[in-house]
Structure 1
């Protein structure tokens, strides 16, 4: 396989074998040093008959894998959505959905012409019993018997179309251990309809003796939180609150983040081991801005260094689409009024695919030998990826960074500002390949960044800040728009692309710091204005935009024109021959003029 020259591209990962459909490739490290991966797989699509749970072992950090070991047969009732827990003695538990009664259809809560037109839902992988099996040999074999977990009935169960006689649920959340007890996530479902789940909320299943009890029949379970409902969307939000992901802070506080259909993820804290929770709120960055995220998995992990990582998709969609690229935030603990809390950095792109319709999700994090790995699935290929440690260091160090990035700097021009300078050569994005037999496209995954300190006395449209374009438009420019924004125009003489910063950020007469980042890996343009990454706000779903994968290069005139007829002043220009990370742009802003 030819390596793509960008570690973030998912094709550079190591594939985890599956039957065809594959979901939730989650990993625990066994006592004999192997990685044990559990996966929901099948020969059909998600939710089709034959879906079952398997495990695989790797002894080389995910490069190769053993033959899969089925926990349930492919010709049995659906077995789905497994998670693993290793207890101190080395035993490994696998928890999963099992359609033990082999129910083939259930009544739909909603009837639509394009969904359950006869009133019946025939996807039956999210109902039945929540069960477990165990392995005492690192996942090579599993107990022949499965054991159902008693789950306390709540209002959402009683209110389903069967009055709770049939339970609807599933789980994607990683189990965790705290203060001698184990906790396993569960997402209760109220009904099926358009979008599959029509109502959902999250609970925790707590066992006080699973860490030491060898007899599975004697393991005890408690359903949390107290009361008659689980974690829901914030007040005024929609009926969906699911795929809860839990982390334990250093003072024993539980943090939970989960998806909604409100365009933002929700979170809550528990100071009493899951019995009660703070009022759910929509997640915010440390700077106070709301985090945007669609109906997709968003997970937070506590790392061995005491910091946190958060996986999400950084746009305000309310449906299942647009899970590409993956963005990561870094989290650090801070003292809140009632205990520890997590302060979240602004995000960086961590993984992507060239096809915007590819959706990657349901990740897991593995730390080993000081290295960080994540798994993900596109539902037909699951992979393991090693994360760039400098990316994580940038995220965790973002809160204090106040230095100017020097790597890749092509131009730095301060006051007095000339009206033109010699234009440094910009990198080529794509070119004709000399190594391919057909001499087709070679994608160099290049990028560049423009940084400005500016003061605009007017936001009138059409003012040029920077421009290297030829008469026929080839090159790039930064210019003001009719929305009171600044846009980047990219033209290689064959195609033109443009994207602007979010409206409402620039004020006449005020000094602003503006960074336009053109990232030729995922083909994304983003803006950082006054140290804040544009996310679209309330104006648009996306704060970042895509440009053509066929864009070749942007070298235009020999001179770069600076602010011709500008109503204002440019104090500083920097041009980089690579994309800057969000953290670097923030560091440049904090460094000042």
Structure 2
């Protein structure tokens, strides 16, 4: 998540399931928009990727509009996306599903059929591409306020329900972003209609990127970035607003409390302009059982001007943490005690290793994934633009950290390759660790380097185990492929990304990875013991 991330312009992408070339001509008259459009589609089928569950892809080669529209561009895009979805759903979806089911076992076919029956209505069936086991939310129509879905936080409430908290909007960084939630009482098989925790009350005063804090008192908190209109880093800029719930998350109370970010030399000199910090994973417990969470701090352009434009347009950034000292007492949000870590600002940084940023002292270290080690130390991974994940370790509960270095599969082993994308790390109940990543440096399938957002696919996972005497205290297995989008774009935003702003739950022997597919479909996938059985970690 970058505070400057925007949305991609419309290009059409379709899929079909038989070797077929055809043309469809549609003349559509939209009287309420005051315009006519003639659209000619040419589809060319591509080879089926059997390793991806049998899903083929095809590209839309031509879109020709007869006249200019009289409304803004988003209405044109919404109309075009809506018309393509109708063609897909009515004529191609059944054929696509039949192709997939032909290669499935009977048990898998039953599971998929049950999933389809329970899934909410959606303009496309391409949400099946990553072969999920659960569906939390699907947008009914492309280009509406619910298309964008990001920062997926799934957790168990004190009362035992599954709850999903996420950010929703028309597209990433849209002024209509809001914080929403849904809940399940049957282990994730079905989910309630979404409820809103907060949404914009005024233009460009936007709430987004919420995350939960669950107190042992039973009180639940939701913290989210609240833009107040003073910003130099986009709509994600602002203090942490706090709402809380005393009824297991069914209703949320406005506390009137905004927690300001710690101010540092990396921030805008005007105190009205908030520092830019983004929390992307749920908090964990540290070695003293206190709740702690990592976040990215983006330096203000007033402190570190952006030296390069285009696809390499990066802000200076670093990793920090916040610890909630008294959360388990269930205090009113105004009485929350927060400790900002590390003690010395500017500690957790990584040189981009590209010019001119490197020579000017810039850092790009973002989206820390933190995990507790059995000996009480904290282990942190982070995304960079070096083509690899980096890591650091704290021996004093986050107050100071070792010098950052590339993450390897084991001491003196190969570096773990990964572009600028989130790299979620989880400690499992059995003491092992799971790391999700892309397993390439950023040049795969036409991507231009580690900084290229279009390098955010496919998804692999690796199992980690604690090695107490090693320099790098977690060693990892060989990677295992999990899923991919095959560069197929969907919806108005036309993303093919698999950016894993995700979460993981374990309950009664079931382990589930919850994620957003192409920042649009909110899904879950079981990670069974059988899937991990052959992922051996070096001794």
TM-score bin, normalised by smaller chain: 0.5 to 0.7
**Pick from 253, 264, 283: which aligns with 1:154?**
264
Matched-pair contact (CA < 8 Å) for 1:57–1:139: no
Q: Cα distance, 1:327 vs. partner?
A: 0.5
Higher helix share: 2
Show the counterpart of 2:210.
82
Matched-pair contact (CA < 8 Å) for 1:188–1:200: yes
Show the counterpart of 1:307.
432
User: What is the aligned residue count?
Assistant: 377
**Pick from 76, 97, 121: which aligns with 2:225?**
97
Show the counterpart of 1:342.
474
**SS of alignment partner, residue 355 of structure 1:** coil
| Structure 1 residue 48 corresponds to structure 2 residue 158 | no
| Structure 1 residue 394 corresponds to structure 2 residue 534 | yes
Q: Residues 76-129 of structure 1, C-alpha deviation per residue, up to 9 Å, x if partnerless?
A: 421111221212122222221111x234x63xxxxxxxxxxxxxx7xx322111
Rounded to whole Å, the distance in 1 between the matches of 2:433 and 2:294 is 19
Q: Cα distance, 1:267 vs. partner?
A: 0.5
TM-score, structure 1 normalization:
0.60
Check 1:385–1:323 CA distance in 2 against 1; reply closer, same or farther (3 A cut). same
**SS of alignment partner, residue 375 of structure 2:** coil
Show the counterpart of 2:396.
272
**SS of alignment partner, residue 390 of structure 1:** helix
Show the counterpart of 1:199.
316
Matched-pair contact (CA < 8 Å) for 2:352–2:386: no
Check 1:45–1:291 CA distance in 2 against 1; reply closer, same or farther (3 A cut). same
Check 1:288–1:359 CA distance in 2 against 1; reply closer, same or farther (3 A cut). same
TM-score, structure 2 normalization:
0.65
Matched-pair contact (CA < 8 Å) for 2:351–2:364: no
Give runs of aligned pairs for residues 157-196 of structure 1, distance below 5 A.
157=267, 160=268, 162=270, 165-178=273-286, 179-191=288-300, 194=309
Q: Cα distance, 1:277 vs. partner?
A: 0.4
| Structure 1 residue 368 corresponds to structure 2 residue 493 | no
Higher strand share: 1
Check 1:342–1:146 CA distance in 2 against 1; reply closer, same or farther (3 A cut). farther
Matched-pair contact (CA < 8 Å) for 1:264–1:316: yes
| Structure 1 residue 326 corresponds to structure 2 residue 435 | no
Rounded to whole Å, the distance in 1 between the matches of 2:246 and 2:271 is 38
Rounded to whole Å, the distance in 2 between the matches of 1:353 and 1:261 is 22
Comparing 10-19 and 241-250, the one that deviates more: 10-19
Q: Cα distance, 1:356 vs. partner?
A: 5.5
| Structure 1 residue 128 corresponds to structure 2 residue 261 | no
**SS of alignment partner, residue 532 of structure 2:** helix
Rounded to whole Å, the distance in 1 between the matches of 2:270 and 2:314 is 15
Matched-pair contact (CA < 8 Å) for 2:219–2:330: no
Rounded to whole Å, the distance in 2 between the matches of 1:360 and 1:337 is 32
* Larger Cα-atom Rg: 1
How big is the alpha-carbon RMSD for the aligned residues of Structure 1 and Structure 2? 2.5
**Pick from 121, 146, 166: which aligns with 1:39?**
166
Rounded to whole Å, the distance in 1 between the matches of 2:187 and 2:130 is 16
Q: Residues 165-203 of structure 1, C-alpha deviation per residue, up to 9 Å, x if partnerless?
A: 432222212211221422122211114654665111111
Check 1:52–1:35 CA distance in 2 against 1; reply closer, same or farther (3 A cut). same
